[in-house]
Amino acid sequence: MTRRWWLAWGALALVLVVALAVGSRGSGHAGTGDRVSRIASEVRCPTCAGQSAEQSDAPAAKAVRAFIAEQVQAGQTDGQIERQLRDRYGSDILLRPPASGVAGLVWVLPVAGLVLALAGLAFAFRRWRSSADVPVTERDRTRVEAALAERVGSNGSSASAAPGSTDAGSAAARTGGGADPEGPAGADPVSSPGRA
């Protein structure tokens, strides 16, 4: 069952990666106007706050669009055009940070965080599943009853005791004389709270 689960998740991840790769490539047959618009939408308007050169009607944005159109007509690639714009206006002209160097962390850290979060969830679910299989013994039940009876007895209210028990003394007598002198299983008697 576990192997099937991993195969299913692996297949889903493979489909997702292939879909993202195909979707990010685009058609490759964009016309000149479409290509100019796409590049201009990834470039910040030099004089406008928060607008791309494609959206803005400012003279500086029109100049950027004209420059992009000239470079597209000259046969320049998108990377070459972006590099020329970066050289002319600085690296802040691009709305999308470069995927290399320190700026590449903008792209890598969210993916790494998502992978770590999913791994943590898988680890936690696996732990929860294995801890749910621990059987409850009769000794555990007796200890819980004794602890509840002791708590009810320390409050001084025998009226709120569990049904079937009249007071803390009878509950202790039923469980063999009160709390287990060894304490909870695996507990250190020196560091257990409530022990002197």
Same-domain status, 97 and 154: no
- The pTM is what? 0.40
Number of domains in the chain: 2
pLDDT of residue 89: 84
Number of H helices, E strands in the chain: 7, 0
From CA 145, how far away is CA 143, in angstroms rounded?
Answer: 5
- Domain identity same for 97 and 143: no
Note whether residue 58 is domain-resident: yes
Q: Which of 104, 131, 159 is the last residue of a domain?
A: 104
Residue 180 forms part of a structural domain: no
Does residue 111 lie in a domain region? Answer: no
Is 129 within the bounds of a domain?
no
How far is it, in rounded angstroms, from Cα 174 to Cα 162? 13
- Where does a domain end: 51, 82, 104? 104
Residue with the two structure tokens 């009876």: 149
21-62 residue pLDDT tens: 887 765 555 577 888 888 888 888 888 877 888 888 889 888
Nearest to 143 by CA among 182, 169, 190, 188: 182
Q: What is the mean pLDDT of each run of 10 residues along the chain (196 residues)?
A: 79 86 64 85 84 86 90 89 87 73 77 94 84 80 93 66 47 47 49 46
Q: Is 61 helix (H, G, I), strand (E, B) or coil?
A: helix
Alpha-carbon Rg of the chain, whole angstroms? 34
Residues 40 and 97 in one domain: yes
Largest CA distance in the chain: 97
**Residue 162 and residue 97 in one domain:** no
The answer to whether residue 3 sits within a structural domain is no
Two tokens at 61?
């944005």
Parent domain of 89 = 31-104
CB atoms inside a 10 Å sphere around CB 64: 26
The pLDDT assigned to 159 comes to 45
Chain centre to alpha carbon of residue 17: 18
Is residue 136 helix, strand or coil?
coil
**Residue 40 shares a structural domain with residue 99:** yes
- Regarding whether 143 and 100 lie in a shared domain, the answer is no
Distances from the Cα of 66 to the Cα of 14, 43, 70, 126, angstroms: 41, 13, 6, 58
Q: Measure the CA–CA gap between 56 and 44, rounded to whole angstroms.
A: 9
Report DSSP state, residue 184: S
Q: Has residue 90 been placed in a domain?
A: yes
The token duo for 163 is 């049904």
What pLDDT was estimated at residue 157?
Answer: 53
Q: Which of the listed residues 81, 104, 127 is the one where a domain comes to its end?
A: 104
Q: What CATH number is attached to the domain comprising 36?
A: 1.10.8.640
